[in-house]
Amino acid sequence: MLLNSLQDLSELRTHKLNILWTHASTLEQTCLSRSTGILQHTAAEVSRNVPILDSTMFVRHNQGPWSEPVEFAFEPSPIWHDDPEIVIDEYAKVFLRNMVTKSREGLTKIQGTVTLKHQEVDKLRASVQGSQDREAVSNVLSPPYLEMRLIGSNSSIHYGHWQWRRMRKRLWRPRFIPSYPW
């Protein structure tokens, strides 16, 4: 009696599974036939696209009277209390050239430090791959520590205590490091 019930249950399960598979294959066939119809329609539309007519339509659409655009004019800003005149005296040119020169000098000073720090980071990352003590190394590789080292090497950049705390909270995210029982 129990075996007959279990056999009936197994047959019913197989029957329901066959119904599901039949329905799924019907849906797939319907989808495939619709896709085939869409692709046939697309192929028919592509054959209607004659290149010479396409070029002609483009030319006709873009035909029109051409007029030279007006020269750019300086628009004074009411917020900054600008005058309608652009300042072009020699003093302003010298001032801007000095600013560019100082910026380039600062950039060359920082570039050497940055390349050294990038090399240091690459070495640390290489040592992390072979290291067994990942937690200690991940603390060294955390973004706030590296940024602190970079900022510490350049005395011209200084962050206040509150700015550093805000950056540390924003940049540093704790990493999950699995500890294995062996």
Write the DSSP string, 18-70.
HHHHHHHHHHHHHHHHHHHHHHHHHHHHHHH--HHHHHHHHHHHH-S---PPP
CA atoms within 13 A on the CB side of 161: 0
Domain match, 96 and 163 both? yes
Which distant-in-sequence residues (6+ apart) come within 8 Å of 167 by Cβ? Answer: 144, 147, 159
Q: Which residues contact 87 (CB under 8 A, 6 or more apart)?
A: none
71: in domain = no
Counting every residue written for the chain, the total comes to 182
What is the per-residue pLDDT for 141?
58
pTM for the whole thing? 0.29
81 in a structural domain:
no
The verdict on 95 and 160 lying in the same domain is yes
Look at residue 3 and tell me if it is in a domain. Answer: yes
Instruction: Domain count for the chain, please give it.
Output: 2
Specify whether 99 is located in the same domain as 166. Answer: yes
Domain with 17 in it = 1-34
**In a structure prediction context, what are the per-residue pLDDT tens digits for the chain, which is 182 residues long?**
888 899 999 999 999 999 999 999 999 999 999 999 999 999 999 988 888 988 898 888 888 887 888 888 777 777 877 777 767 788 888 988 999 999 999 888 898 888 889 899 888 888 877 665 555 555 555 555 556 665 555 544 444 444 444 444 444 444 444 444 54
Q: Are residues 164 and 99 in the same domain?
A: yes
**pLDDT score for 103:** 92
94 and 167 part of one domain:
yes
Report the alpha-carbon distance of residue 39 to residue 3 in Å, rounded: 54
| 120 assigned to some structural domain | yes
10 located within any domain: yes
26 domain-assigned: yes
Residue 176 is given by DSSP the state: P
